[in-house]
């Protein structure tokens, strides 16, 4: 599927899908459920297998004490920091 097709199915703009693919943003709970439904998987599976790259990200996304927007902010900081050290 193209970004535009996914965006139309989920009800977001194509640039939002681009952000998800690059890992610079993450879907909110409603968008995550729509994506999971679109691809025929559970939301938990989508997060665990496709939206995170390692155990640190997996733990962050599954932390029940964090709100979704806090998870997104921390994930962005973590990925920015790990990319900076990789350069």
Taking the C-alpha atoms of 63, 66, 67 and 68 in order, what is their torsion angle to the nearest 10 degrees? -40
- Could you report the per-residue pLDDT of 60-78, keeping only the tens digit for each? 877 889 888 888 788 888 8
Does residue 9 contact residue 34 with C-beta atoms inside 8 Å? yes
- Position 79 pLDDT exceeds 90: no
Question: For the structural domain made of 3-86, what CATH number should be given?
Answer: 1.10.260
User: Residue 86's pLDDT is what?
Assistant: 64
Ranges of each domain in the chain: 3-86
- Could you report the per-residue pLDDT of 20-73, keeping only the tens digit for each? 888 778 888 889 899 999 999 888 777 766 667 777 887 887 788 988 888 878
């Amino acid at each position: 599927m193209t970004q535009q097709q996914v965006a139309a199915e989920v009800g977001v703009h194509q640039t939002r899908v681009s952000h998800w693919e690059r890992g610079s943003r993450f879907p909110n709970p409603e968008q995550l459920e729509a994506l999971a439904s679109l691809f025929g998987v559970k939301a938990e599976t989508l997060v665990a297998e496709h939206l995170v790259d390692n155990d640190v990200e997996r733990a962050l996304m599954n932390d029940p004490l964090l709100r979704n927007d806090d998870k997104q902010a921390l994930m962005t900081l973590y990925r920015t920091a790990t990319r900076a050290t990789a350069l």
